[in-house]
Structure 1
Amino acid sequence: MSRISRETVVVGDRRRTLLRVRPSAPSPAAPLLLGLHGTGQTGAAFRRFGGRTLDALAERTGADLVLLDGHRRAWNDARRRRTSAAQRQDVDDVGFVRQVARAAGRPVLAIGYSNGGQLLHRVLREEHGLLAGAVLVAAGLPVDEDFTLVGVEPDRVPMLLLHGTADPIVPFDGGTTRVLGRSKGVVRSAAATAAAYAPEDPPAVTHDGAIERRDWGVVRLVVQEGVGHVVPNRRTSPLPFVVGPSHHDLDLGEEVQDFFAAQPDPLLSPRAGAAGAAGSRSARG
């Protein structure tokens, strides 16, 4: 069974907290999995919200999973509109990620959901070489008018993006984001967000039921038809009246493992029976 501990680190003049989930059989070859929650959550809440899909990924691959806690349940991302205490107080969340990542002594694969993904947009531009890979779940890139890092090139690392077409909070086609009726800014579409990180060549497109994968090799966008603002997993359907519908035909941890195990420099070991994951699912579209 996994071992769970709460830890505290000091970043500048602030004490920050995190939840660490250790696998039963640690692998020295595995990266650190670093999770960043959404607005209104903590690391522990993010873990429950996603049906412990990242716990299962850590257990399968022998990786430590570290879930950071934002300041007052939010992150100081790079959006111009300051809607959280973390932004208004200019909390050093990039420094928090940097300190935990450097202390790991191994490659770091960061997974950000919603507001956590917004923080990754910032980290990738301000900390080149820090992360070995990134996962963005329901986290559209802010439009230029609402982004403080316009023109700053992001670190080019393998990246997996996931977004549902029925997301009521971060619109799949771009536009104003809203949490309980309150605007958090304006974002690009899921396709435009992926394009900001992907090579210019057109992607290979595959379909698996209601799931579409647009694959550039080092970048993949996974589109779930009819799915809301969720962490895809096979167990939970949280708060559908707030975040929209959940489908259980895709699991985030499995998708992460399949993608990063297939990279030229694999970060994760492959899943048993999952060889040829995306490219062999269906014909190129």
Structure 2
Amino acid sequence: MGVRALTVGGTAAVAAVGGAVYWLLGESAPPEPTLPGRLERHRTVLDGRERTWTTYVPDGLRGPAPLLLVLHGSGDDGAAVRRQTGYAFDRLADRHGFVVAYPDGYRGNWNEPRIGGRFAAKELGLSDVDLLRDVATSSDEVDPRRVYATGFSSGGQMALRLALEAPDLVAAIAPVAANVPTTANLAATDLGMPVPALFVTGTADPMNPYGGGEVRLYGTRRRGRVRPALEGARWFAERNGITGDAAVERISDRGSDGAWVESHHWAGSEPVRLLSVHGGGHHYPAVGVRGRRLLGPSPQLLDTPARVWEFVSAHRRPE
């Protein structure tokens, strides 16, 4: 009887632990829609290794068209960030006539600009800038003056690296949950050419600290130090030649969970904008998508994909 009770109790305990883990790590997104365009899988060999990416091409696309690079976070791939953004970029591509590319990092990660973080891509010195250049130039359907990059977390850092090291490639960037690294944690070479940038950051992010400091998840997975979100955006505005103060605006009402969104906008020919999701966690905020609870709250106040496209598509690289 005692053994039976122990077994039943143990099973219940295992189930409870499993349920708690699922609650913390589970995420939800809309089902993959049926879309009129086509998904295409691509491969190339770079640094002696096969690299892959997926593109979504709208039906009846009239080229040369803009291209948006959407870069995933650590441990994920292009398919994951496509799902985590609720397939919103594919829908936007159908509506506005652009190509979306979802590249895959090497073993789930990028050789992005932070010194911290022992990713294989960093340790091997892989040229992810060259990979993304190959993605952008692999199709005649793409307008080389209208190539943009957005990314989540490590993918946002990779978008930042493109702006610093390949400003001849990207016309604008939009890092999400990716504060600018401190000088001591920055491995990229900044060529100093201005690039418009939109930053989206949650104030309740447990990994990428809104107020600056070491990037880590509850004491683990250290990635080095980053600047406070506001300071990093201001730094980027200054590198773009903007010396004035930001215009500050509240762009959402407070939700039932107390979350709200604030905008800081540094105006200029290469503008910089910071959208602060007050009460938001370490997620790429998208309508109808709930990220992993372990990474903080997922307020439903900001359609980030639409905001990203609105911002980046207003720019093109000069001749």
Shorter-chain TM-score bucket reads 0.7 to 0.9
Aligned with residue 178 of structure 1, among 193, 209, 216: 216
Show the 5 A alignment for 1:107-256: 107-149=146-188, 152-179=190-217, 181-198=220-237, 199-208=242-251, 209=253, 210-217=260-267, 218-240=271-293, 242-256=294-308
Q: What displacement does 1:28 show? A: 2.7
Q: Distance in 2 between matches of 1:197 and 1:29?
A: 30
Show the 5 A alignment for 1:70-89: 70-89=105-124
Identify the range of structure 1 (5-14 vs 113-122) with the bigger mean alpha-carbon deviation.
5-14
Q: Which residue of 1 aligns with 2:5?
A: none
User: Which is higher, the Rg of structure 1 or of structure 2?
Assistant: 2
Q: Which residue of 1 aligns with 2:12?
A: none
Q: Distance in 1 between matches of 2:102 and 2:68?
A: 8
Q: What displacement does 1:154 show? A: 4.0
Q: Distance in 1 between matches of 2:310 and 2:130?
A: 30
For the structure 1 residues 191 and 22, does the alpha-carbon distance in structure 2 shift closer, same or farther, using more than 3 Å as the test?
A: same
Percent identity of equivalent pairs:
35
Q: Distance in 2 between matches of 1:154 and 1:234?
A: 35
Superimposed CA distance per residue, residues 216-249 of structure 1 (whole angstroms, 9 cap, x where no aligned partner): 1311111111000111111110211x21111111
**Larger RCO: 1 or 2 (CA < 8 Å, sep 6+):** 2
* CA RMSD across the alignment: 1.8
Q: Distance in 1 between matches of 2:169 and 2:149?
A: 10
Matched AA of 2:119: S
SS at match of 1:108: strand
Q: Is the 8 A contact 2:203 2:277 kept in 1?
A: yes
Aligned length: 263
Stretches (4+) displaced over 4 A: none
Matched AA of 2:200: L
TM-score, with normalisation over the residues of structure 2? Answer: 0.78
TM-score, with normalisation over the residues of structure 1? Answer: 0.86
Q: What displacement does 1:10 show? A: 2.0
Would you tell me which structure has more helix in proportion to its own residues? 2
Q: Distance in 1 between matches of 2:149 and 2:312?
A: 12
Q: Distance in 2 between matches of 1:95 and 1:75?
A: 12
Q: What displacement does 1:153 show? A: 4.1
SS at match of 1:31: strand
